[in-house]
């Protein structure tokens, strides 16, 4: 069934292209009714439009809080055109039908994400009339079109031209789905923000609400998911202050894939551990190389050398703008990466990376703005989907300081070993369990990731480190259940080991270090990552 549009209600916070859309509707003979700032804008543009108060017979009041919550509005939106009792009620009360609602909502998410925003400022941006109109129109989509996205204005006008002023059932259904998705996301953002306020004030009995709503806006459909036979899409959640792969600006390169997003998120999470010039080289959601240095190009070179074989086709995260020296290193030799995320790219570095054959058309370059440990949001809860439900947990933002550590062996670490152990511990937090990381100075030498036994993770890390293992230090994400992992490490030349402790065989593990004069340090904090 095609419903001809005779009257439209327009009430928008985002006024992008609204003048052109309203003018086109008016030229098609559609009567326009509008509210507040939208009415003022359309009137100033010379577009014939009635104020909603003319329709309701009731003025806007309470600073605009009450204007559209009225039977003359919702009756016009909700009335079933094929139900005699509804038609009779409309006639009895003088309610005119509204065939098209053009509504978007107060910018609550943007306001709540603003630095320094007060509770009252955010609450004032909780839209009431807008969602009510959206839901009324969307519920009655058999007869009413609901447009919530300025990006749909052209489609609506095209269809009205094609159908002589009407909208098809198919488009009205599609717009209704989009409308309910909007209100769901909007309410989820409000609920989450208000709950976070309660947590910050110490009023919430738990950091996890009784009901947790997840909502996001689709940014793009992806070529496929982890594998070609899996379809996938990327959704952006509510606006936040923390720099992320989700909010970063894609400056160049091919469209991002599912695996690119996963690796970019992992690489950036590791890079956020450091204030210094630092580069993380990530492959299959694990760091295969990482280093810190005085200059970002030196950090890159050392990180790459951690595992040059695995670094090919990796994803990189920089804590500093990518400079020309870094770009020259990357494009030289037989190096290639899938994506780079950094605060920004210096112009000459960007030109080189985008102009180099093989690199320019392929490598994704993302700018996320400045970041560091202090930009991480503890309120951003981690979620893991499972069949039939999902798990929530706080982010692992624990920072290990030397004062938190206990030396368990007779041998005491020197200053270089202390620095290396704390550096390695930050890396191990971001390696899939069971995780072992070998470092020397501020450079990763070898990583053992995702092994079912800890001793195998040690063997893998030692193998990756090769001849450089002598004099290195080791960090483990969890305790050693047996001395075999320790014995494998010290036999290879590892001089100091950091672990959380907590095994029933801790004394055996410590004794294994004492027998060969190695250092053993306990942190008391485990960092499993599944």
Q: Is 284 noted as a catalytic residue in this protein?
A: yes
| β-pair type (314-318, 217-222) | unpaired
Instruction: Write b or e for each residue in 426-464: b if 16 or more Cβ atoms lie within 10 A of its Cβ, otherwise e.
Output: bbbbbbbbbbbbbbbebbbbbbbbbbeebbbbbbbbbeb
| β-pair type (364-367, 337-342) | parallel
C-alpha Rg value of the chain to the nearest Å: 30
Sequence-ordered list of residues with C-beta below 8 angstroms from that of 216, at least 6 positions apart, any chain: 185, 235, 236, 237, 238
Query: Within a 13 Å sphere around the CA of 10, how many CA atoms are in the beta-carbon half?
Result: 33
Please report, in angstroms and rounded to a whole number, the separation of the first and last CA atoms in the chain.
Answer: 52
Which residue of the set 15, 86, 284, 356 is catalytic? 284
Q: Which residue has the tokens 């670490």?
A: 413
Q: Is cis: bond before 434, omega within 30 of 0?
A: yes
**Cα torsion 282, 283, 285, 288: sign:** negative
Which residue of the set 15, 139, 178, 356 is catalytic? 139
Three-state secondary structure string covering 101-170: EEECCCCHHHHHHCCCCCHHHHHHCCCCHHHHHHHHHHHCCCCCEEECCHHHHHHHHHHHHHCCCEECHH
Q: State phi, psi for 209 to the nearest 5 degrees.
A: -70, 160
Q: Is 139 noted as a catalytic residue in this protein?
A: yes
Q: Does residue 280 contact residue 270 with C-beta atoms inside 8 Å?
A: yes
Instruction: Write b or e for each residue in 391-419: b if 16 or more Cβ atoms lie within 10 A of its Cβ, otherwise e.
Output: eeeeeeeeebeeeebeebbebebeeebbb
Q: Which residues are the active-site residues? A: 139, 284
């Amino acid at each position: 069934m095609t419903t001809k549009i005779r009257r439209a209600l327009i009430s928008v916070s985002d006024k992008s292209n609204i003048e052109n859309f309203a003018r086109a509707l008016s030229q098609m003979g559609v009567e326009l009714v509008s509210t507040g700032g939208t009415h003022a804008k359309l009137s100033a543009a010379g577009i014939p439009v009635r104020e909603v108060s003319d329709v309701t017979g009731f003025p806007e009041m309470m600073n605009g809080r009450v204007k559209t919550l009225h039977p003359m509005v919702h009756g016009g939106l909700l009335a079933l055109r094929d139900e005699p009792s509804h038609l009779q009620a409309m006639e009895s009360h003088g309610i005119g039908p509204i065939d098209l609602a053009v509504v978007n909502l107060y910018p609550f998410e943007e306001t709540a994400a603003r630095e320094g925003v007060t509770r009252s400022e955010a609450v004032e941006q909780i839209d009431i009339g807008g969602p009510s109109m959206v839901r009324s129109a969307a519920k009655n989509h058999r007869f009413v079109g609901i447009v919530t996205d300025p990006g749909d204005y052209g489609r609506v006008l095209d269809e009205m031209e094609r159908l002589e002023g009407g909208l098809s059932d198919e488009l009205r259904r599609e717009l209704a789905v989009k409308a309910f998705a909007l209100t769901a996301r909007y309410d989820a953002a409000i609920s989450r923000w208000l709950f976070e306020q309660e947590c910050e004030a110490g009023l919430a009995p738990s950091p996890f609400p009784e009901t947790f709503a997840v909502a996001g806006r689709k940014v793009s459909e992806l070529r496929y998911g982890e594998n070609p036979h899996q379809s996938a899409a990327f959704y952006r959640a509510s606006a936040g202050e923390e720099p992320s792969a989700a909010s970063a600006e894609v400056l160049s390169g091919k469209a991002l894939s599912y695996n690119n997003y996963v690796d970019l998120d992992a690489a950036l999470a590791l890079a956020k551990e450091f204030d210094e010039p630092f580069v993380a080289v990530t492959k299959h959601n694990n760091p295969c190389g990482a280093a810190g240095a005085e200059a970002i190009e030196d950090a890159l070179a050392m990180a790459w050398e951690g595992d040059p074989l695995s670094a090919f086709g990796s994803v990189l995260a920089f804590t500093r703008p990518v400079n020309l020296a870094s770009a020259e290193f990357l494009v030289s030799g037989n190096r290639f990466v899938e994506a780079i995320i950094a605060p920004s790219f210096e112009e000459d570095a960007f030109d080189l990376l985008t102009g180099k054959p093989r690199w320019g058309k392929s490598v994704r370059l993302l700018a996320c703005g400045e970041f560091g440990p202090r930009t991480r949001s503890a309120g951003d809860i981690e979620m893991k989907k499972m069949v039939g439900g999902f798990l929530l947990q706080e982010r692992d933002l624990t920072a290990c300081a030397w004062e938190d550590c206990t030396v368990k062996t007779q041998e005491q670490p020197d200053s270089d070993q202390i620095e290396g152990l704390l550096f390695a511990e930050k890396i191990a937090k971001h390696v899939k369990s069971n995780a072992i990381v070998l470092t020397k100075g501020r450079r990763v030498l070898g990583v053992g990731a995702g092994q079912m036994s800890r001793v195998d993770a040690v063997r893998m890390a030692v193998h990756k480190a090769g001849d450089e293992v002598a004099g290195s230090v080791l960090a483990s994400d969890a305790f050693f259940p047996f001395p075999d992992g320790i014995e494998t490490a010290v036999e290879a030349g590892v001089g100091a080991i950091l672990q959380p402790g907590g095994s029933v065989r801790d004394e055996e593990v410590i004794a294994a270090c004492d027998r060969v004069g190695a250092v053993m340090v306990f942190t008391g904090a485990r960092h499993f990552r599944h």
